[in-house]
Amino acid sequence: MNEDNFNMSIRKFLKTVGVTSQREIEQAVRAAVADGQLSGSEKLAVAARITIDGIGLDQTINGEISLD
């Protein structure tokens, strides 16, 4: 296994996840605020799940997003 290529491949995937996730979260929160579902001062529980079927990885990361 080439450690450098492996590391770069993981970083590339995580960058894609980060950029895509941020865009989707921003759009959903803005729509919820505009729709009156959120006031804009909430703290939202958030979870991200990473799975790799080939090796049985199933990891959930929990956190919080503050809107104010």
- Average pLDDT for 35-58: 97
Q: Is the dihedral of CA 10, 15, 16, 20 positive or negative?
A: positive
Structurally, the chain folds into a number of domains equal to 1
Asked if 48 and 61 touch (Cβ cutoff 8 Å), the reply is yes
Separation between Cα atoms, residue 41 and residue 63, nearest integer Å = 17
Provide the pLDDT confidence category of residue 27 given band limits of 50, 70 and 90: very high
- Average pLDDT for 37-43: 97
Mean pLDDT over each residue of the chain, to the nearest integer = 97
Provide the pLDDT confidence category of residue 23 given band limits of 50, 70 and 90: very high
22 is in which domain, residue-wise?
A: 3-66
Dihedral angle over CA of 27, 28, 32, 34, nearest 10: 10
Ramachandran region, residue 36 (left: φ > 0; alpha: ψ -120 to 50; beta: rest): left
